[in-house]
């Protein structure tokens, strides 16, 4: 039996799979690379939910969890019958959403950072059972900050996705520059701390 399936577990069920499928299509159009079989599944929650699940079960069987919840699968008819031995690589694609932590928690940023570091340390190999965690910073819309996607976004990305970028621009133009700078600074401090800690 061949190990020929790449499993990508996404946080969201709408924007993420559309963007990834469009990226895969562009790769195949522009290169001669033949993509392997890619299976998309949805966690439908955030990094903290993932953290709690993996902390409770360090050797979490993603396929087993997904097969128990067919609604989380992109194409359940195809994936429900596969065995985990056929998964050659597993990627977990989540947003860096610190706002998902309940505000009632003390030391919110510190606790969130510690949890994310745990995930980065534990999920650091796509060929292992834990998979490799990839974090969109600050969220999935960061795709639009990549120069190679900006022209593509104006031409062939569906209107609902272009609205994401338009909404971000409208938001930034409607609030004070000082507020934007403050938010960016706080995100940068958090991200720097996470990756500095991860490297040491």
Query: In whole angstroms, how large is the CA radius of gyration of the chain?
Result: 18
pLDDT at 158: 42
pLDDT at 19: 76
pLDDT at 155: 42
Which residue in 109, 170, 117 sits closest to 141, CA to CA? 170
d(CA 84, CA 7): 10
pLDDT at 162: 46
Taking only the tens place, the pLDDT of each residue in 121-166 is 888 899 988 888 888 766 555 555 444 444 444 444 444 444 444 5
Taking only the tens place, the pLDDT of each residue in 163-178 is 444 544 544 454 455 5
Strand pairing of 87-95 and 37-42? unpaired
Overall domain count for the chain: 1
Average pLDDT, the chain: 67
pLDDT at 146: 46
Contacts by residues 24-31 (CB-CB < 8 Å, ≥ 24 positions apart): 26/152
**Contact indicator for 55, 118 with CB cutoff of 8 Å:** yes
Q: Which residue has the tokens 């392997």?
A: 36
Lowest-confidence region among 20-29, 87-96, 189-198:
189-198
Lowest-confidence region among 64-78, 81-95, 159-173:
159-173
Rounded (10°) angle between helices 159-174 and 147-155? 120
Six token digits for residue 39: 């299976």
DSSP 94: E
Q: Which residue has the tokens 């401090």?
A: 189
pLDDT at 156: 41
Q: Which domain holds residue 85?
A: 5-199
d(CA 134, CA 94): 6
pLDDT over 70 (residue 91): yes
């Amino acid at each position: 039996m061949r190990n020929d399936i790449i499993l990508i577990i996404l946080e969201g069920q709408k924007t993420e799979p559309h963007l990834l499928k469009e990226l895969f299509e562009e790769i195949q159009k522009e290169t001669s690379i033949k993509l392997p079989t890619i299976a998309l599944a949805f966690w439908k929650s955030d990094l903290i939910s993932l953290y709690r699940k993996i902390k409770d079960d360090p050797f979490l069987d993603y396929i087993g969890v997904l097969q128990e919840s067919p609604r989380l699968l992109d194409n359940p008819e195809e994936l429900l019958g596969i065995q985990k031995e056929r998964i050659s690589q597993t990627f977990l694609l989540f947003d860096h959403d610190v706002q998902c932590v309940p505000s009632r928690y003390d030391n919110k940023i510190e606790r969130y950072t510690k949890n994310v570091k745990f995930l980065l340390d534990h999920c650091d190999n796509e060929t292992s059972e834990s998979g490799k965690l990839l974090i969109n910073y600050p969220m999935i819309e960061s795709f639009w900050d990549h120069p190679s996607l900006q022209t593509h976004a104006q031409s062939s990305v569906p209107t609902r996705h272009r609205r994401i970028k338009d909404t971000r621009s409208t938001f930034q133009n409607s609030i004070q520059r000082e507020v934007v700078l403050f938010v960016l600074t706080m995100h940068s401090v958090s991200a720097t701390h996470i990756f500095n800690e991860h490297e040491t």
